[in-house]
Amino acid sequence: MEQELISVVMPVYNEEDLVTRALESLQNQTWKNLEIIVVDDHSTDNTAAIVKKIAAQDSRVHYYLNPKGVSKRKNWRGYDINAGWSARAYGFSIAKAQWVTTQDSDDASLLNRIEVQYMLAKKYNATFVAVGWMDLNEQTLGKKLDVERIFNDVGEEHVIITPKEISAIAKKEKGVLMVEPFHQFIPFPFKWFPYTRKLFYRSSDGPPGADNCMFFSREVIDRGINFRTRNKRTWGTPSGRGSGRDFFFRTAYELGNSWSFRLPLYLWNVKLKNKDYVGYDKYLV
């Protein structure tokens, strides 16, 4: 079967030690027809040189400097409020494929992550497909997930989180004063203030799936859904972050065709285990 082109957008900022690992996990995907768009958020280390060298060796990898310029990365409390949102938004604007996915530059993916998401999108006629994560370590890096075996052991129907369920979560998480576009004119400090916070942010719980490896149709971008600045995020977080959370829930809320699958296909660079997937190491091949 001829593989359809898929665009991968990866924002990067000062990741000279980790970006090669992240890119290799994409270059080695079972889905080979990829356009890998690396958008540099004006790194000050050797990140740009490393990515350009990889791009010179692999025509699928493309380096771009974020044309939006250097953006404020941290607020007065020390939180990274940028977290690559503008780099992702720019990457989406230049992506050529009908299907787009994301990955962070300090993380990695299991080698069949993109293929599985594509196949599930086609099977369920989905506009958006999310999956789960497991921790990135020497035992998980460079492996594939035996999805067919998981379906046989667990039951495919028990792996699925339906559009109806996800839309209901998005509706529940939407603050009562997060009314578009009026809330965008309310200063963020007022939204953050402890006595008014619950009117805007009902919780900071993550969406039902990893928001750093979302896979979606170009229809999402064509409908004007993108990563947004801090004060425009309807589903952001009180910390000032939550750009991926906002994109995830906004897509589900507005389009109603988002699917999530309890399959830990993304490798998150964190020092903790995902309690939802204890024992899933046996499905790595």
3-state SS of the chain? CCCCCEEEEEEECCCCCCHHHHHHHHHCCCCCCEEEEEEECCCCCCHHHHHHHHHHHCCCEEEEECCCCCCCCECCCCCECCCCHHHHHHHHHHCCCCEEEECCCCCEECCCHHHHHHHHHHHCCCCEEEEEEEECCCCCCCCCECHHHHHHHHCHHHCEECHHHHHHHHHHHECCCCCCCHHHHCCHHHHHCCCCHHHHECCCCCCCCCCCCCEEEHHHHHCCCCCCCHHHCCCCCCCCCCHHHHHHHHHHHHHCCEEEEEEEEEEECCCCCCHHHCCHHHHEC
| β-pair partners for 215 | 101, 129
What is the pLDDT, as a whole number, of residue 105? 96
What is the pLDDT, as a whole number, of residue 84? 79
Q: Was domain 6-283 assigned CATH 3.20.20.70?
A: no
What is the pLDDT, as a whole number, of residue 9? 98
What is the pLDDT, as a whole number, of residue 129? 98
What is the pLDDT, as a whole number, of residue 222? 96
What is the pLDDT, as a whole number, of residue 69? 64
- Look up residue 255 and give its amino acid: L
Which residues, including other chains, have CB under 8 Å from residue 129's CB and lie 6 or more apart?
117, 120, 121, 214, 215, 216, 258, 259, 260, 261
What is the pLDDT, as a whole number, of residue 31? 98
- Look up residue 245 and give its amino acid: R
Q: What is the pLDDT along the chain (285 residues), one digit of tens a residue?
A: 689 999 999 999 999 999 999 999 999 999 999 999 999 999 999 999 999 999 999 999 999 999 986 555 555 555 555 667 999 999 999 999 999 999 999 999 999 999 999 999 999 999 999 999 999 999 999 999 999 999 999 999 999 999 999 999 999 999 999 999 999 999 999 999 999 999 999 998 999 999 999 999 999 999 999 999 999 999 999 988 899 999 999 999 999 999 999 999 999 999 899 999 999 999 999
What is the pLDDT, as a whole number, of residue 273? 92
Domain boundaries, the chain: 6-283
What is the pLDDT, as a whole number, of residue 2? 87
What is the pLDDT, as a whole number, of residue 209? 97
Q: pTM for the full model? A: 0.94
